[in-house]
Structure 1
Amino acid sequence: MSILAQHKYPSKYHVHTCHSPLLRTRVYCSTTTTTTTKPKPNLEQLVIEPQLNPSPNLVTSAPNRPIFNDPSLRSTWSHRAWVASGCTTVLISLAKATMGAAESHMWLEPILAGLVGYILADLGSGVYHWGIDNYGSASTPIFGSQIDAFQGHHKWPWTITRRQFANNLHSLARAVTFTVLPLDLASNDPMFHGFVGVCSGCIMFSQQFHAWAHTTKSRLPPLVAELQDVGLLVSRSQHAAHHRSPYNNNYCIVSGVWNEFLDKQMVFEALEMILFFKLGVRPRSWSEPSSEWTEEAETPSQIIGH
């Protein structure tokens, strides 16, 4: 804007104003308006560059998403040592049952005891699975790591198929070692060891049965697929219901024979109500599904990488 006062710039034209003691000045204003138009982007020239992962094996599309070659899924020598120890204690128990039955010529009792152990192992796996799914956290003493693993398993269930054998079993193998070894030393009764050997063995290997329940049938050993088909091991189709809303059923992961009874009789729901009214603790399943348990499937790159 420029401001021009007439009395400062004399010309041949004389402009009369009124006869007033005050000087009147005419002010002429000229304005210049400049309009700047922002150029529109040419959409044809836009190039979207993909984010590159720092490593081809990493998956970074979601926070805390497991990575393909996660070292925590690999077996260590300590894992293998605990699994070997657990298997040894179970085999000692089974050997004592077999030798005792051979010496006494009584085979029926140890076999029936083993059958009871197999059935109760499935029930025990369901109760334990229900407990760590619904209560506690990663900071819980003793069980914290397993609680964290099982709760994360609901978001990324496919990771269990990536765990190496000893990595998957070492926690239960350690518990079996400390529990069964004293029993091996304390008793020689064949019926007792028939029960202990089968029950502890099924409990220790329940995590492997669980992993097989998440494995496609084409990738299973033929014997395992057959055992699933006849109902001796929990099947993929049966366990799949546990990973669907409302996330409060089919907890048993040995044979799954207890699942229908426990779910129809609402046994775990009754236990949850008792704990809530007695201790004021709410199970996690009451507030699910949530983003923490919303299942995320494998990406195509992970499937190809596997």
Structure 2
Amino acid sequence: AAVTGAAVAAASPGSAPRAARRTPQPVLTLPGDTLESTPGMAGYVAAWTAVTLAVLGRSLAAAPAGAAAGIACGMLMAELFSGIFHWATDNYGSIETPVVGFACAAFQGHHLAPWTISFRPFANNVFKIARAGLPLTGLAAALLPAPLAAFAATTFYGQMWAQEFHRWSHTKRLAPWQRALQRCGVAISTADHCRHHKPPFSTHYCILSGGLNPVLDSKPVLFWRRLERFFYQATGIEPNCWKGDKGAPVRQQALGL
């Protein structure tokens, strides 16, 4: 684990340079984590992109209308799934959890040093998603009819862009075209995602465009509170956003539905 300038500044705030306090350095705490991109990381991203494009092209050729509908529905599902995965890994599990333990620790640790993601190059930021999405997309192409294959491929591939747009929302300096995508609602905006980063981290989980957040977070839907109540009643496990003084109102709202 590497804890750099942020820890030094916290230990001796009087001696830390003014600029260093304004611009925290990245904090890495997970085993094997790095801020470097490697050819292997880029290879996963390139391979998944190629496979996704091939699946979409084949699906559109086989069933144009059905595949187009599948892509449109997949874009909506990609937004929803980004929220469900974010909610689940924020609130449940740990580094010890099978299969998704690293993701649980990464999302929960992100709340402690949210600026770290802004230091990650593109391939470094998304390659773990590409590594998981590549075989899933291949299975979808092999087992599903064209419209459903297009739906699945779009949903899976959207998770890569959700993670990248998440990085943009924490990055101070973006290119004009990146800011334009945020302004027009394609990529989640900094203002929208910052609403999530307020304890107990109980809302604004969708990180692709953020377009579903107002619907899922508001009455009468209260999607996350209903999910939390369901899992609590089924397992007895309380989500992290119910804990502490700031989580008590969230818990009360969920159990009162």
Q: Which band: TM-score by shorter chain?
A: 0.7 to 0.9
Give, in angstroms, the shift of residue 288 of structure 1.
4.8
Match of residue 130, structure 1, among 87, 112, 128 = 87
CA contact (8 A) 1:89 1:184 kept: no
Question: CA deviation digits over 1:68-110, x for unaligned, max 9?
Answer: 4966122233322322222222121122134336xxxx4x443
Question: CA deviation digits over 1:7-48, x for unaligned, max 9?
Answer: xxxxxxxxxxxxxxxxxxxxxxxxxxxxxxxxxxxxxxxxxx
1:169 alignment partner, SS class = helix
Give, in angstroms, the shift of residue 257 of structure 1.
1.6
Structure with the higher helix share, 1 or 2: 2
Structure 1 stretches of at least 4 aligned residues deviating more than 4 Å after TM superposition: 56-59, 66-71
Residues 1:95 and 2:52 are matched in the alignment: no
Give, in angstroms, the shift of residue 59 of structure 1.
4.6
Distance 1:288 1:168, change over 3 A: farther
Aligned twin of 1:139:
96
- TM-score, normalization by structure 2: 0.78
In angstroms, what is the RMSD of aligned CA positions? Answer: 2.5
Match of residue 193, structure 2, among 236, 239, 242 = 239
- TM-score, normalization by structure 1: 0.66
CA contact (8 A) 1:272 1:283 kept: yes
Structure having the higher Rg: 1
CA contact (8 A) 1:96 1:188 kept: no
CA contact (8 A) 1:169 1:204 kept: yes
Q: Which moved more, 1:274-283 or 1:144-153?
A: 274-283
1:234 alignment partner, SS class = coil
CA distance in 2, matches of 1:192, 1:248: 32
CA distance in 2, matches of 1:289, 1:266: 20
Aligned twin of 1:33:
none
Question: CA deviation digits over 1:271-293, x for unaligned, max 9?
Answer: 21222222111111112579xxx
Matched to 2:50, the amino acid is T
CA distance in 2, matches of 1:68, 1:231: 28
Aligned twin of 2:236:
280
1:136 alignment partner, SS class = coil
CA contact (8 A) 1:93 1:197 kept: yes
Aligned residues: 225
CA contact (8 A) 2:27 2:113 kept: no
Give, in angstroms, the shift of residue 167 of structure 1.
1.6
Aligned twin of 1:6:
none
CA distance in 1, matches of 2:44, 2:245: 35
Unaligned runs of 5+ in 2: 12-23, 247-257
2:203 alignment partner, SS class = coil
